[in-house]
Amino acid sequence: MAPVVLPGVDIPLLTGPLVLGYMWSYCLYGMLIVQTYFYSEMFPKDSRGIKILVYTMFVMETIFSLFTTIAAWNSYGPGWGDIDTLLVLDWSWTPLPILNAVLAGMAQSFYIWRIWSLMRGHRYIPIFIGAVMVMQVTVCFHYTVIFALAGRKTAELGLISAEVSAWLGGSAACDLLITITLVTILSYQKRHTTFAKTTGLINKMIRFSVETGAITTLAAVCDLTLWLSTREFNIHFIFFFVLGKLYSNVLMATLNFRAPIFRSEAFGTNAAPQSSLWADPSTANTSAIAFRPGVHVSQTTNVARDQIDTIVMSDFTATSTMDAKGTIPDKSY
């Protein structure tokens, strides 16, 4: 059977990017399943708010994958060879932009909340970042309603280009602001500590913040660039299908970063290090050495403290303590 040919239309560039988007979306969903399972096993005592956020995002990603499957089936199953499937998007596409924007907003809200709790004297920064986040979610809702009322015709996408650009540009700007702010906070903590192990952990967290922030920022920028430059094709849909799942996976990676398996190399041990940034603070480091069954010898090592605020990440609350001399110790171990 000869392939369908439309004058002036490159069919592979309309259908091929969708195939890649579907496949990469399923791949990231599989990664999210593994990360969610790992989180449920490693952090059963996390706060209720964090658990609600994690499992709500997982349910929403599952719904997104369900609608994606319906869209793929209707396009390449019953719609195979039907030219109308290239000109009118399936009904299952309607909730996808909203789900993408809400998932991005939920992940960004978590980081904004952390910045809010850490920057006590500069609350206007997280407020501004939160305003950018709300803007991109609101614009996406507006775009989805307009596109649905227009009959989901691909020709109508050009009429709402400003809304799409504001949505993707706002998402990328929010990610960039979050990354810069977190790196600034961690760099400040690094300058106010003299312990090599604490400095090494902070360096690792800075690299992690930059890497994870760069992933979502780059994906949003690529989606926006392809949308503005190759709107007549569907290449930008590759990043559209994976954008929400990138936010979910990055958030889960941030939460799972607290696990000892990801941080043992910085301390040369498989035990969970109790840092001032990720774990519950303590005033001593205790290890037990077994010489024979039933007999254990405990060794306690007292450590000095820096004079900086203590940032507790296990329960995601920032706390400060003061000793008898009026100084604020850093409970790093």
The ranges assigned to domains in the chain are 11-263, 271-319
Average pLDDT over residues 111-126: 85
11-263 under CATH 1.20.1070, yes or no: yes
Supply φ then ψ for residue 328, to 5 degrees: -105, 110
Average pLDDT over residues 286-305: 40
d(CA 125, CA 79): 49
Q: What is the pLDDT of residue 158?
A: 67
pLDDT, tens only, 232-276: 778 888 999 999 999 999 999 989 988 775 554 444 444 333 333
Average pLDDT over residues 62-88: 84
Top-confidence residue, 196 or 178? 178
Mean pLDDT of the chain: 76
**Side-chain half-sphere exposure of 85, counting CA atoms within 13 A:** 18
**Side-chain half-sphere exposure of 313, counting CA atoms within 13 A:** 21
Query: Which are the contacts of 278, defined by CB distance < 8 A and separation ≥ 6?
Result: 201, 205, 257, 258, 263, 313, 314
Q: What is the pLDDT of residue 105?
A: 93
Whether residue 286 is predicted with pLDDT greater than 50 in this model: the reply is: no
d(CA 164, CA 142): 10
d(CA 252, CA 241): 18
Q: What is the pLDDT of residue 3?
A: 53
Q: What is the pLDDT of residue 9?
A: 61
User: Between β-strands 310-312 and 295-302, what pairing exists: parallel, antiparallel or unpaired?
Assistant: unpaired
Whether residue 306 is predicted with pLDDT greater than 60 in this model: the reply is: no
Residue 327: which of 190, 195, 192 has the closest Cα? Answer: 192
- List the single range of 14-23, 116-125, 129-138 with lowest mean pLDDT: 116-125
What number of residues does the chain have? 333
Whether residue 300 is predicted with pLDDT greater than 90 in this model: the reply is: no
Whether residue 330 is predicted with pLDDT greater than 50 in this model: the reply is: no
Average pLDDT over residues 158-176: 85
Top-confidence residue, 32 or 94? 32
Query: Which are the contacts of 82, defined by CB distance < 8 A and separation ≥ 6?
Result: none
Q: CA angle, corner 324, sides to 321 and 328, nearest 5?
A: 35
pTM (two decimals): 0.74
